[in-house]
Amino acid sequence: MVAYLVWDWNGTLLNDVGTGAAIMNVMLERRGLPLLTEERYQEIFTFPVRDYYKAAGLDLQREPFADLAVEWTELYAQLSPACGLFPQSRETLQAVQQEGIRQLVVSASPQATLDRQVNSLGIREYLEAVLGLSDIYADSKGGIAQRYFREKRVAPDRVLFVGDTLHDWEVAQEAGCSCVLLAQGHQSRARLETAGVPVLESLSQVPVFLRTMQA
């Protein structure tokens, strides 16, 4: 039986896919490099972020990754306030809560950014915890989730991860938890299906999926 549901944030609850592509295109345009379509963006976006920057065309030999990360973060701070939640996010969070399942967000976003976004979008009441990273380099979020559940003494087989990237599946695997992926976010359905776990069209399908798991 699922006791905890872990939501990824970007591309899962927060609809910032177009913003992510737009930010990279600003960075590419500044350097006279070819721009990305949203479809191409979904094909190359990945973790670690260094690999994504390279696939987009940025030269990490000429420019330090740390400098590029700062540039990306500054652009995200400018553009992300316009991002909203995916349709049916609040209704979905409420439906999961009514099933008696505790919910939290675990994200590769810096903690301050994550707190600001979650609070401004009015969904904090549904979440037991909001867990982000302590820096801007977005290397991994797996350890955050594992520490949380160790402290709570929650068995991994009682946790379901919901995300929109293969990294979310990898995090769930590392933690020994179940996973379902959403084909609405930063990676294409074709890429997500390589994980061999269920892939749903959108987060609004999660409550029904949960009920099938609990049956």
SS3 12: coil
Tokens of 100: 């008696």
Angle at 113 (CA atoms; ends 37, 16), nearest 5 degrees? 25
pLDDT at 144: 85
What is the DSSP code (8-state) at residue 166?
H
Kindly give the confidence (pLDDT) of every residue in the chain, 215 residues in length, as a single tens digit, with 9 standing for 90 and above: 899 999 999 999 999 999 999 999 999 999 999 999 999 999 999 988 999 999 999 999 999 999 999 999 999 999 999 999 999 999 999 999 999 999 999 998 889 989 999 999 999 999 999 999 875 554 467 788 888 898 999 999 999 999 999 999 999 998 899 999 999 999 999 999 999 999 999 999 999 999 988 76
- Find the length of the chain: 215
Q: Where does residue 174 rank: exposed (0-12), middle (13-18), buried (19+ CB within 10 A)?
A: middle
56 touches 34 (CB < 8 A): no
The H or E element spanning position 138 is none
Phi, psi angles (nearest 5°) of residue 133: -90, 160
% helix, strand, coil for the chain, step of 5: 55, 15, 30
Give the Cβ contact number of residue 214 at 10 Å.
Answer: 11
pTM: 0.93
